[in-house]
């Protein structure tokens, strides 16, 4: 798992949060919904995502947010317990 800043971790958790909705093919959160949830600009979210793509070796291409969310879950950077805890705080 790459080292993450607190801001990157918050964005990653918000990105992966829809996994808890229970649908098999639930897409990750959109840039706009992450920005709204974290009360930051979309530009700030895009900047964090750019760094996360590099840290998780997610190359250019389609479904980049989906691939990042999958990598974060596979590598253990985000766990279901993390996401449940986040949802309970909201």
Using one digit for the tens of pLDDT, what is the confidence trace for 24-82?
Answer: 678 899 999 999 999 999 999 999 999 999 999 999 999 999 999 999 999 999 998 99
Beta strands in the chain (DSSP E): none
CA distance 38 to 2: 22
pLDDT reading at 90 higher than 70 = no
Sign of torsion over alpha carbons 60, 70, 56, 11: positive
| C-alpha to C-alpha distances, 59 to 30, 33, 43, 52, nearest whole angstrom | 18, 23, 20, 11
Residue 68 near residue 14 (C-beta atoms within 8 A): no
């Amino acid at each position: 798992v790459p080292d993450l800043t607190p801001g990157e971790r918050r964005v990653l958790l918000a990105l992966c949060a829809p996994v808890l909705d229970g649908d098999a093919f639930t897409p990750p959160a959109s840039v706009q919904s992450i920005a709204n949830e974290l009360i930051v600009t979309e530009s700030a979210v895009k900047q964090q995502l750019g760094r996360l793509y590099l840290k998780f070796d997610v190359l250019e291409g389609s479904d980049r947010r989906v691939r990042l969310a999958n990598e974060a879950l596979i590598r253990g950077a985000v766990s279901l317990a993390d996401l449940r805890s986040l949802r309970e705080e909201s």
